[in-house]
Amino acid sequence: MRYIAIETTSDPESHSQPSTSKQLELSRLLVKELQEMGVRDAALDEHGYVMATIPANTPNVPVIGFIAHVDSAPDAPGRVTNPQIIENYDGKDIVINSEKGMIMKIEEFPELPDYKGQTIITTDGTTLLGADDKAGIAEIMTAVDYIMSNPGFPHGEIKIGFTPDEEIGRGVDKFDVEKFGAKYAYTLDGGQIGELEYENFNAASAKIFIQGRNIHPGYAKDKMVNAIILATEFNALLPVEQRPEFTQHYEGFFHIIRFDGTVEEAMIQYIIRDHDSEKFELKKNLIEESVTYMNKKYGEGRFRVEMKDQYYNMRKQVEPHYHIVEKAVQAMEMAGVTPQIKPIRGGTDGARLSFMGLPCPNIFAGGHNFHGRYEYIPLESMVKATEVILNIVKLYSEGK
């Protein structure tokens, strides 16, 4: 609760690192807490990364790391002032905000009854909760506190990392893998209890700029070119069935995330996602082909696209080290958690870290409905995530 009270929303329009200075408030707090636990080398660098080391008490153990991100998504307000704690949840609909008529209904959120009898933490409907990824931070910090408070607990050298700007795709832009020093790592950034992921989307962003021509509407015949109308026509060229609301599992999508426009000019922004690299390239090609088509129809230069890749599917980087996935499976089973290996319908810092030489699958943090006002997390799922961290550490120390 202390972590989510600090607003850490990242800003995709900012060019600084980190993108918002308010993220550093949480990072400084984490350094202070780590040092108070006895992790003496905990430090915050000039790029906003927190790194720390727990020295080994057991020899010949691979160095492993645990990573979470401090920023919260810019999709909803991030200043959490009134979270709700529902103890001994009764398994029924949850009223998020009665004034706004916001109710989490079982028919819309069918997983809710699975948490009957547990403690549920929700928003008050005015902000997101920030469990993505402050739950991951809390779980790692709780595990560190346990290890430092129990010197007899066997472990190799453990690296701790907290990153900024994950939500805007820049979480590891300046992350020094060599300095971090882990051979393998795990991000605590997944969803519901049991999730374990080593596959993620290939990802790109695309901005389409449309130049119109504004003429007084009373005299516009054969002269006006309405950029708003052209933008909506462009969007209609993309396959409806490949929108996020109609896709699941390994199905990719085009997701329009922003639309700014006047008659004179407009801009539409998309994120493009697919697990399959060939389908990913086809999606990007379709964007470019649609721009070409619209320019042929309405005049060269009317449409312009800026497109860039953001991250890639980490599967091919993790599979050669599949034992790190197997250890996570075993650690969950030891905690009484049923592993659910599934592809991430998104991305994590671990995806890019895997391509930077640090194989890094993703473990559940326990939350649901990330990035929105209906976000919630069961306390018991967080406890289990911490158990999984400690079990992974133990398995490595035992060479199993």
Give the active site residues.
Answer: 71, 166
Which string of DSSP letters, residue by residue, matches 220-242?
Answer: -TTT-B-HHHHHHHHHHHS-GGG
Which residue in this structure is represented by tokens 């006895």? Answer: 38
Instruction: Identify whether the C-beta of residue 180 lies closer than 8 Å to the C-beta of residue 65.
Output: yes
Terminal CA-to-CA distance of the chain, rounded, Å? 35
Q: Give how far the C-alpha of residue 272 lies from the chain's centroid of Cα atoms, to the nearest Å.
A: 15
Beta strand spans in the chain (E): 43-44, 50-54, 64-69, 84-86, 94-97, 102-104, 120-122, 158-163, 184-190, 195-197, 202-211, 253-261, 265-274, 303-311, 340-341, 362-364, 376-378
3-state secondary structure 66-98: EEEECCECCCCCCCCCCCEEECCCCCCCEEEEC
Long-range contacts of 30-34 (CB under 8 A, 24+ apart): 30/70, 30/137, 30/141, 30/162, 33/141, 34/141, 34/144, 34/160
For residue 99, the tally of other CB atoms under 10 A from its CB is 8
Instruction: Identify whether the C-beta of residue 109 lies closer than 8 Å to the C-beta of residue 48.
Output: no
Instruction: Identify whether the C-beta of residue 387 lies closer than 8 Å to the C-beta of residue 335.
Output: yes
User: Looking at residue 250, what DSSP letter applies?
Assistant: T
Q: How far apart are CA 400 and CA 397, in angstroms?
A: 8
Instruction: Identify whether the C-beta of residue 189 lies closer than 8 Å to the C-beta of residue 166.
Output: yes
**Per DSSP, what are the bridge partners of residue 260?**
267
Q: How far apart are CA 5 and CA 21, in angstroms?
A: 16
Nearest to 83 by CA among 366, 332, 371, 373: 373
Instruction: Identify whether the C-beta of residue 290 lies closer than 8 Å to the C-beta of residue 231.
Output: no
Residue 343: C-alpha distances to residues 45, 190, 204, 250, 251 (Å): 32, 11, 17, 7, 10
